[in-house]
Amino acid sequence: MNRTVTILRTGPQALVQDLGRPGNAHLGVPPSGAIDPHSLTLANRLVGNDETAAGLELLLGGAQIHANTSCTVAVTGPSVEVRIDGRLADSHQPVHLPAGATLEIGTPRTGLRTYAAISGGIDVPQELGSRSTDLLSGIGPEPLRDNDVLKLGTPNPANGADVVPPITVLQTLVIPIRLGPRDDWFEDAETQLRQGSWTVSDRGNRVGARLQGTKLNRRDGEIPSEGMITGAVQVPPDGQPVVFLNDHPTTGGYPVIGVVDRDHLRFLGQARPGTRVRFRPID
């Protein structure tokens, strides 16, 4: 018998995400995958899944998941209200959904992206080794729509009860950044980065976090397109930095002043518009 859930309501945006499809950039294929992989892997562990299983990435929560079969669910990411058939339940730990029950996820108090893992994982077909939706190139499943039915894989035996802490997104982020590969396009790149301050713009998405604030002064012109990695901080002619997230283009022609470490990138990926950002250049 097929195990399924129905996504009664998606909220602002609901995507299937796993850890993405890195290793295909030479074909022009972005890495994609969960913007906050830490939260997704924790959710998977709570429900007994492999860390690589596909779950839901929910922008600003707001989703309703109906269990057509008995399953275990864990909601992670920022602190958020979770209800089962209208009754308050716990986030950040495994909760059991009997067949016919509906899980309702509220809007997180801080942060942008909530993750939901379901026992067995979401079983959509893989494309280039991953089930992730890539919003830039259209690889993977379409963004989910209300009433979509999702197949689940075979669940593993439960791990036993456990709890993980919610991710906290601070009002001001101080992000370590490594200079290069094109810091020589900027006069004293290190000082410009250290002294500038920005806020997260509302025009950001899974392709990149756009920052607004201090103009980074750079040389005019463009570089012949070159390979880009996740975390690269590209500076277009207007001097407003764009930090590449998982669905970033594999090549680009604007100079990259520095690269944000993977471990800190998820905080930028979780930062709401208006969050203040400063950079701390490191060696």
Least distance (Å) from another protein to the CB of residue 96? 35
Instruction: Determine if 224 is a binding residue for another protein (CB under 8 A).
Output: yes
Token pair 């079969």: residue: 69
Q: What is the DSSP letter of 1?
A: -
Joined together, the tokens standing for residue 40 give 């997704």
Among the residue ranges 49-57, 99-107, 210-218, 224-232, the one whose residues contact another protein (CB under 8 A): 224-232
Residue 269 touches another protein, criterion: CB under 8 A: no
Site stretch for another protein (CB under 8 A), options 73-81, 187-195, 200-208, 250-258:
250-258
Q: Which residue in the set 249, 264, 273, 278 belongs to the binding site for another protein (CB under 8 A)? A: 249
Smallest Cα–Cα separation from 34: which of 8, 60, 53? 53
The neighbour count for residue 133, using CB atoms within 10 Å, is: 25
Pairing of strands 276-282, 172-179: parallel
Q: If binding is defined by CB under 8 A, does position 225 make contact with another protein?
A: yes
Q: Is 261 in the site for another protein (CB under 8 A)?
A: yes
Residue with tokens 């593993």: 156
Q: Is 178 in the site for another protein (CB under 8 A)?
A: yes
From CA 77, how far away is CA 164, in angstroms rounded? 10
CB of 271 to another protein, least distance (A): 20
Instruction: Examine residue 208 and tell whether it contacts another protein (CB under 8 A).
Output: no
What count of residues does the chain have? Answer: 283
Would you count residue 222 as binding another protein (CB under 8 A)?
Answer: no
The distance of closest approach from Cβ of residue 54 to another protein in the complex, given in angstroms and rounded to an integer, is 15
Q: Cα 114 vs. chain centroid, distance in angstroms?
A: 9
Contacting another protein (CB under 8 A), which of 98, 100, 180, 237? 180
As given in the structure block, the two tokens for residue 189 are 């790149």
89 interacts with another protein by CB under 8 A: no
Per CB under 8 A, 90 contacts another protein: no
Q: What is the dihedral of CA 137, 139, 144, 147, to 10 degrees?
A: 140
Task: State the Cα–Cα distance between residues 86 and 103, nearest whole angstrom.
Answer: 8
Task: List residues near another protein by CB under 8 A.
Answer: 22-29, 125, 127-128, 137, 139-140, 178-182, 224-229, 231-232, 249-251, 256, 259-261
